[in-house]
Amino acid sequence: MSYSEKEAFKKLPEASSWPKFSGTGEYDDMELIDHIDGLFIDVPRIPDYWITARLNSAFKGHASIWFTEMEEKPQKKKLAMVEESNHPKVQQGYLDMAKNYVI
């Protein structure tokens, strides 16, 4: 993590303080969207994956279930593709990409 990333990470609010979104009843999506938009202004150079890694903390109920399932399906496909490939560049490329999602 570079110096600027460390500074940005310190400015990122805890996921527990984010507005919640359930996806049912009276939609509360705009509050969450506005919050995320504000993060890109308040925390310059914030990587997208820092946001997506925290989204499930903002989701509750049906939205949380949907998000978890959407995350798992592509992951299983990617793992299957890597396992089927005997090409070292494909396997290394996936491992390099996976490192970006570890916070």
Could you report the per-residue pLDDT of 49-77, keeping only the tens digit for each? Answer: 888 888 888 888 888 888 887 766 665 55
How far, in Å, CA of 35 to CA of 59, rounded? Answer: 13
How far, in Å, CA of 57 to CA of 47, rounded? Answer: 17
Q: Work out the average pLDDT over 32-59.
A: 85
Report helix, strand or coil for 10: helix
Token pair for 1: 């993590």
Of all helices (H) and strands (E), which one includes residue 9? Answer: helix 3-11
How far, in Å, CA of 29 to CA of 27, rounded? Answer: 6
The CA–CA distances, whole Å, from 70 to 13, 14, 78 equal: 24, 23, 13
pLDDT at position 83: 56
Higher pLDDT, 28 or 16: 16
